[in-house]
Amino acid sequence: MMSPTPDLSPAHIPSLDRLLRSPDFEPLLSQFGHTRVSQSTRAHLQTLRQAVLNGTLSPQDLEPAQLAKTLQAQLTAESRLQLRPVFNLTGTVLHTNLGRALLPDEAIQAVVQAMRSPANLEFDLETGGRGDRDDLINPLLCELTGAEAATVVNNNAAAVLLMLSTLSPRRETVVSRGELVEIGGAFRIPDIMKRAGARLHEVGTTNRTHAADYENAINEHTAMLMKVHCSNYAVKGFTKSVSVEEVAQIAKKHGIPTSVDLGSGTLVDLSQWGLPPEPTVRETIEAGADIVTFSGDKLLGGPQAGLIVGRADLIAKIKKNPLKRALRVGKITLAALEPVLALYRSPERLPEHLTTLRLLTRPSTEMRAQALRLAPILQKWVGTLFTVEPTAMLSQIGSGALPEDVLPSFGLRFAYTGTGRPGRHLTQLEKRLRTLPQPVIGRIAQDAFWLDLRCLEEAFEADFSAQLTPEQA
């Protein structure tokens, strides 16, 4: 800004009409349209009036070219979408707040197709009659889990709600006190039961529940025995829980079903890739569960969805519940889900093709080499306030899957070089990275700032580095 000109008056401000007709405004009008440009320009001229009166403007500030430039920047900033891609360098692979699983290319292509053109979502291509959207993935889910039937809803919370509302209305569902979990985002088993109209019959204690506890709880009001996978915590020490197999045997004896909320749920044995074992859906069905519910976007590596598999008669009942219509998934979800499930038909291809598994099994050597490449770039970007060191660290799977297990990983540690407490400098650094064009999300811990490189695949490394140019610093 030039030095203020005392004799500049509001009369020198160009009229809205003149600006809109000036060649400088042509590109703006063609990009944003007449309505939006005139609205923003009018508002801007209003602020100029005040600035002129305050004597803080120069004649150049009132040139159409300069005004067009200001408005271009303002309108462009306002047009930026609120949901934006970020770099998840938190070390938590399935980060709920960052959107959980990333989809494999096969699923992305299918989603694009489904969005572009009409699809046989509920249209039977054999008969030309009405179809059922569940039928698109039903056979695949049955093949992969050994279940008789399947249905899909919005997320696993919806799956549990729908299952309880259908199978335990005004009747009791028996759950161990050690399994009354709260998942992040206010999903609590006792609350969801209440909303589903099911009555919770708690048995056992926080640390120990015995088969006899289930047995003794069963009465004429009992609708179901339910087990919930302890997703995000572990009960340790003097503990006892009853296996799905045992619970299912007790339920069967009394002619009632057993349901299992697996939470993450996986379709393959993850220990074959060196990951900690999780019960698979197939094992749970084979152990005698009549209904199993699990998430689409946790370890499965697919879109947000809730999968319900199990006995055909129970699934049929669930599908008839009017709530099913309210909780159903759209074509975009189904388009993403089918190719993800299809990948599980060739398990040996999974570590390469299923993005979630690829990230979880990324070789340490690869992340280490990447840390060595990126350290000097980040050091230059951050300046002398921090030293950037490549370092070994630990990642988490996230989303409650295998809560205690951590994966050896590699990344960068930013250590404050000044004297005194680093706190404020760390939060400033965290903010600087978070406000980059493609925000970089890391974490502050142990008086340092950490970027875990597990989720920065090499294909995205150039984009990551490109925004760390000195001008951005």
Q: Which stretch binds ligand PLP (CB under 6 A): 201-209, 228-236, 284-292, 370-378?
A: 228-236
Binding status of residue 228 toward ligand PLP by CB under 6 A: yes
- From the list 80-88, 156-164, 199-207, 419-427, the region that binds ligand PLP by CB under 6 A is 156-164
Interacting positions 157-216 with ligand PLP (CB under 6 A):
157, 160, 181, 183, 187
Selected from 178, 204, 263, 302, the binder of ligand PLP by CB under 6 A is: 263
Smallest distance from ligand PLP to CB 156, Å: 3
> Is there binding between residue 155 and ligand PLP (CB under 6 A)?
yes
Question: Would strands 149-153 and 306-310 be described as parallel, antiparallel, or unpaired?
Answer: antiparallel
Cα end-to-end span (Å), the chain: 23
- 383: its two tokens: 């300046």
Binders in 272-301 for ligand PLP, by CB under 6 A: 295
- Sign of the alpha-carbon torsion through 60, 65, 71, 72: negative
E strand spans, 374-464: 386-398, 401-416, 440-441, 443-445, 448-452
Residue 378 CB, nearest approach to ligand PLP (Å): 33
Tell me which of 41, 138, 151, 156 binds ligand PLP, using CB under 6 A: 156
Strands (DSSP E) along 154-298, which ranges?
172-176, 182-183, 187-188, 199-203, 222-228, 258-263, 291-295
Name the closest residue to ligand PLP (Cβ).
Answer: 263
Report how many residues bind ligand PLP under the rule CB under 6 A. 16
Asked whether position 302 contacts ligand PLP by CB under 6 A, the answer is: no
From 436, 431, 429, 425, select the one nearest 412 (Cα to Cα): 429
Residue with smaller CB distance to ligand PLP, 304 or 409: 304
Q: Looking at 5-13, 85-93, 259-267, 424-432, which segment touches ligand PLP (CB under 6 A)?
A: 259-267
Q: In angstroms, what is the minimal distance from the CB of 297 to ligand PLP? A: 7
Which of 138, 166, 231, 333 lies at the binding interface for ligand PLP (CB under 6 A)? 231
Distance CA 133, CA 123 (A): 8
Nearest in space to 91 (alpha carbons), one of 473, 440, 472, 447:
440
From 149-157, 329-337, 356-364, 449-457, give the range in contact with ligand PLP by CB under 6 A: 149-157
Q: By CB under 6 A, is residue 341 in contact with ligand PLP? A: no
Query: Would you say 181 or 193 has its CB closer to ligand PLP?
Result: 181
Alpha helices (runs of H) in 180-253, residue ranges in sequence order? 189-196, 211-217, 244-253
CA distance 404 to 89: 19
Q: How far is the CB of 193 from ligand PLP (least distance, A)?
A: 12
The HSE-up count of residue 390 (CA atoms within 13 Å, CB side) is 17
Q: Is 306 in the site for ligand PLP (CB under 6 A)?
A: yes
The answer to whether 307 contacts ligand PLP (rule: CB under 6 A) is no
Enter the tokens of residue 11: 């009369």
Residue linked to tokens 């279940």: 147
- The pair of three-digit structure tokens given for residue 213, joined into one six-digit string: 């506890």
Could you give the C-alpha distances from 371 to 181, 390, 409, in angstroms and in order? 38, 5, 11
Q: In 3-state terms, what secondary structure has residue 174?
A: strand
Residues that bind ligand PLP (CB under 6 A): 155-157, 160, 181, 183, 187, 228-229, 231, 261, 263-264, 295, 306, 400
